Amino acid sequence: MRRWNGWGDESNDFPLKPEGLAFVRARLGEARALPDASLPAVLAQVPPSRLPAHPLIDTGAETRVRHARGQSLPDWLAMRSGEFGIFPDGVACPRNTAEVRTLLDFCLAQDIEVLPWGGGTSVVGHVTPVASARPVLTLSLEKMDRLLALDRDSQIATFGAGTPGPALEEQLKAEGYTLGHFPQSFELSTVGGWVASRSSGQQSLRYGRIEQLFAGGIVETPRGTLEIPTFPASSAGPDLREMIMGSEGRMGVLTEVKVRVTPLPEVEKFYVGFLPDWASAVRCVRALAQGKVQLSMLRVSNAVETQTHLVLAGHPNLVGWLERYLRIRGVGDGKCMVTFGTTGTKAQCRAALAQANALIAAHGGVNAGTPLGRKWESTRFRSPYLRHGLWEHGYAVDTLETSADWKNVPALVDAIEQSLREAAGGFGEKIHVFTHLSHMYPQGSSIYTTYVFRCAASYAETRARWAAMKQAASETIVKFRSTISHQHGVGRDHAPYLAAEKGPLGIAAIRALADHFDPQGIMAPGVLLPQQEDNA
Ligand SMILES: Cc1cc2nc3c(=O)[nH]c(=O)nc-3n(C[C@H](O)[C@H](O)[C@H](O)COP(=O)(O)OP(=O)(O)OC[C@H]3O[C@@H](n4cnc5c(N)ncnc54)[C@H](O)[C@@H]3O)c2cc1C
């Protein structure tokens, strides 16, 4: 069963190994775990629902608790402390487009706010209800989880918008296809959520971001039904898909999603190599991206992330052997790990591997082969469980991300990490911070920073530490004129920073679009556009 107060399935865990715990303690000091609230204690706080009765709406306390929060760090702190504050007034799980329409019409008639819910994996407060004079309905797409049609000639599959990653890939695999969209939240996130929040998967280098995969579909908006037809390409004015991608529930509810699928690859392998230092590592992956080498994934970790991964792997003897070998090859302290994949026909993979090996060698690096690559593959969707492993020992972990042109990447990585260190220093605390680049483009790259810090003596203080660090890093990103999100979206947490990126005219245009589709303003108020914008 899915956890009500954390990530994933209750039967799965990723405990911190002794070497990992010692490593974190050495960097941050001893920590004490904060007490967790129990489910019965939280259920007892759920207030009576303000919703009028409707056969499609469940107002039971447990359903409301289980749909009250996403996966941001503030969400996590709320779930662990039991201090939810606000719960949705009810949850509806429609089974088809017609039921979504019925629910939207009911909400319009009764002046009810609607929060669409895909897999609830948002890390930026998308699905978190806030205080409102109107009742709030969380509209979960979880029962719309099936492959509805497959056009083999055009390679377009139509899915219910609530289909989560594993179910989507299983149903496609049975037909000989893959979508190839693998965000780290794959286990729980859904195809509708990917579109609504402009998601990017680990193998975007081969398959593209969701922007390239989303072909069309059906959106039920408060104003009516928007059907987005599929074209291979079109020059007929602005693209309707662009109004829906990244709309974060503001324009309506995606009910059916058409995606571009690919026949299953003949072979797929993942490799791990090492470069002598960060500067050569960044130059190497930039050359791979700009040389359009046909890799399916590419990630480069800075030296601290590399060291952290090697320690957390928990195989000190094997890692010791690897490090001795690398040293002989001229790759020692300060080394940076590059993880990459080849996917396709045997000939395509051979060619890509040869080109990658040549570029790694030309930058002074070594390809250590598939053993660590297989390890990455086997744990690629398990690492979110590590938040539990750290939490049990009194440590909190969060991530943030952006993207930047290559000329700004190294300076921005340093500035983000430094802003986090300084903000933590303001509390007299250290943080363990590290970064990787995981989505490469000829123009630039995503930047993904992870930071681990000690919980304070109370939840409120821990939240304050997080807020200071998040604000400092977000302001740094804005100062560099980088995007406030490469893949997590805007939600509520990034909404205050969006205006810096879009400008007043851009924000007004997004606002006008939301008002057009939703004149009564019932769809996810405060998400994407800041609350004051909503009240303006
Ligand atoms: C551990 C972890 C790892 C992650 N890794 C990645 C990653 O690698 N890449 C990445 O891109 N993201 C990642 N994320 C972020 C998150 O998974 C993505 O934003 C994802 O696209 C959200 O999908 P979801 O189905 O869970 O949507 P939700 O979180 O339920 O909703 C997200 C937003 O989309 C809206 N929405 C959802 N479904 C619909 C619909 N059918 N119609 C209209 N609006 C809808 C919601 O209202 C909300 O505004 C990660 C999150 C976690 C917790």
CB distance 8 to ligand 1 below 6 Å: no
Residue identifier of the C-alpha nearest atom 5 of ligand 1: 184
**CA dist 451 → 121, 269, 416, 454 (Å):** 19, 29, 11, 10
Measured CA to CA, the distance from residue 220 to residue 229 in angstroms comes to 14
Answer yes or no: are the C-beta atoms of 115 and 127 closer than 8 Å.
yes
Q: Which numbered atom of ligand 1 lies nearest the CA of 194?
A: 21
Residue ranges in the chain whose pLDDT is less than 50: 533, 535-536
CA distance 462 to 456: 5
Give 208: exposed, middle or buried? Use CB within 10 Å, 0-12, 13-18, 19+: middle
DSSP-derived pairing of the beta strands 366-367 and 395-405: unpaired
Q: What is the pLDDT of residue 426?
A: 97
Ligand 1 touching residue 248 (CB < 6 A): yes
Distance 330 CA to ligand 1 centre (A): 42
Q: What is the pLDDT of residue 532?
A: 59
**Secondary structure class of 410 (helix, strand, coil):** helix
Q: Greatest CA span in the chain, whole angstroms?
A: 72
Strand 444-454 relative to strand 224-228, pairing? unpaired
CA of 197 to the centre of ligand 1 (A): 6
- Centre of ligand 1 to C-alpha 263, Å, is 25
Q: In what order do the strands lie in the sheet with 214-221?
A: 147-151, 156-160, 253-260, 214-221, 224-228
Q: 3-state DSSP call for residue 178?
A: strand
Q: What pLDDT was estimated at residue 536?
A: 47
Question: What residues have CB less than 8 Å from 289, skipping those under 6 apart?
Answer: 205, 298, 440, 441, 442, 445
What's the pLDDT at 530? Answer: 81
pLDDT for res 534: 52
Could you list the beta-strand ranges (E) of 408-497: 432-437, 444-454
> Cβ(193) to ligand 1 under 6 A?
yes
Query: Does any ligand 1 atom lie closer than 6 A to the CB of residue 190?
Result: yes
Is the minimum distance from the CB of 257 to ligand 1 under 6 angstroms?
no
What is the whole-number distance in angstroms between the Cα of residue 488 and the centre of ligand 1?
Answer: 7
Which atom in ligand 1 lies closest to the alpha carbon of residue 487?
A: 11
**Residues sharing a CB contact under 8 Å with residue 285, sequence separation 6 or more, in sequence order:** 298, 300, 338, 437, 440, 445
Q: What does the pLDDT look like over 374-408, one tens digit per residue?
A: 999 999 999 899 999 999 999 999 999 999 999 99
Residues 6+ apart with CB under 8 A from 60: none
Mutate to test the pocket of ligand 1, among 72, 199, 391 (most ligand atoms within 8 A of CB): 199
Contact (Cβ atoms closer than 8 angstroms) between residue 128 and residue 68: yes
pLDDT at 14: 86
Q: Letter for the amino acid at 319?
A: V
Kindly give the distance from the C-alpha atom of residue 114 to the centroid of ligand 1, in angstroms, as a whole number: 16
CA of 192 to the centre of ligand 1 (A): 8
CA of 122 to the centre of ligand 1 (A): 5
User: What integer pLDDT is reported at residue 314 of this predicted model?
Assistant: 78
Q: Give the three-class secondary structure for 278.
A: helix
The pTM assigned to this predicted structure is 0.97
DSSP helix/strand/coil, 482: coil
